[in-house]
Structures are given as C-alpha cells and as structure tokens.
Structure 1
Amino acid sequence: MTGRVAMLRGGAVHRVHWRLGTDLLVAVCHCGAERDFDDPVALWDWLLAHPTGHGSTPAAPRPMAVSAR
C-alpha cells in the first residue's frame, strides 16, 4: 500500500486500541471518553451504552501494570 489510509471521523465512530505489551484494550467513544478493558464484551457494552458510564470529560489513562517475567 503506497497511500495513507484516511481515519474515519464522525458522530458515531468508536475506536478500540490494544495497549502494547499488555492484555488491555482501550475503548474510545465518539464523545471522547476513554476506558481500559480486559474483556472485549464489557468494552462493547460500555461503548454502545453511550452516554451511560461516560463522564463529561475523557478519563485519564490508567498506569500500565508491569509484569514480572
């Protein structure tokens, strides 16, 4: 692929990111609220329940847990 892929925008775009090096998924609602999840079902329940559970401001990111290897 040579071209840059355009990012979707709009009033109903949800995003799910994987937090690198962890088992966490980051849900980003179209309202800007963010929350970490380790269960994809709970993640989608939260996203689709908008605005229930979504604060008026985006949540601060939680510190990453360091696992011993």
Structure 2
Amino acid sequence: MSDRTGEVYRVDWVPGTDLLHGTCHCGREHRAEDPVRMWEWMLAHPQGHRMPEDDS
C-alpha cells in the first residue's frame, strides 16, 4: 500500500505459518497473525511501533 506521500507499507504472508510479516515505510518490521492488528501497528507510525509483545 502506498499513500500520496510516497510512503510504502508492505505486508507478506509467511509461508507455512499463519503469520503476516509487515514492513513499515521507516524500515521497522513486525509479525502478527491478525491482519487488522498488523495494519493498526503500521498506520499508528511511529507511536504504534511499540507493541506489548515487544516488551518480552
């Protein structure tokens, strides 16, 4: 997905799993099973880049 600012957000399925691998326009990466949660993480840039599971 790309917006008018030229920022590119990429989400790929990880073969053999139920995981999605997302890459934000800033280069930060994240994995999640839930597509809604993945897009919330990306679109909350930069505040959304720190998710609860990142604390472990």
TM-score w.r.t. the length of structure 2 is 0.73
| Structure 2 stretches lacking a partner, 5+ long | 51-56
| Structure 1 stretches lacking a partner, 5+ long | 1-7, 56-69
Indicate the residue corresponding to 2:14 in structure 1.
Answer: 19
Where does structure 1 differ by over 2 angstroms across 4 or more consecutive aligned residues? Answer: none
- Aligned partner of residue 53 in structure 1, secondary structure: helix
Indicate the residue corresponding to 1:35 in structure 2.
Answer: 30
Q: In 2, distance between residues paired with 1:11 and 1:29? A: 12
> Residue by residue, what CA displacement relative to the aligned partner does 1:36-65 show, whole Å, maximum 9, x if unpaired?
00000000000000001336xxxxxxxxxx
- Tell me how large the CA RMSD over aligned residues is: 2.0
Higher relative contact order (CA 8 A, sep 6+): 1
Indicate the residue corresponding to 1:54 in structure 2.
Answer: 49
Which structure: greater helix fraction? 2
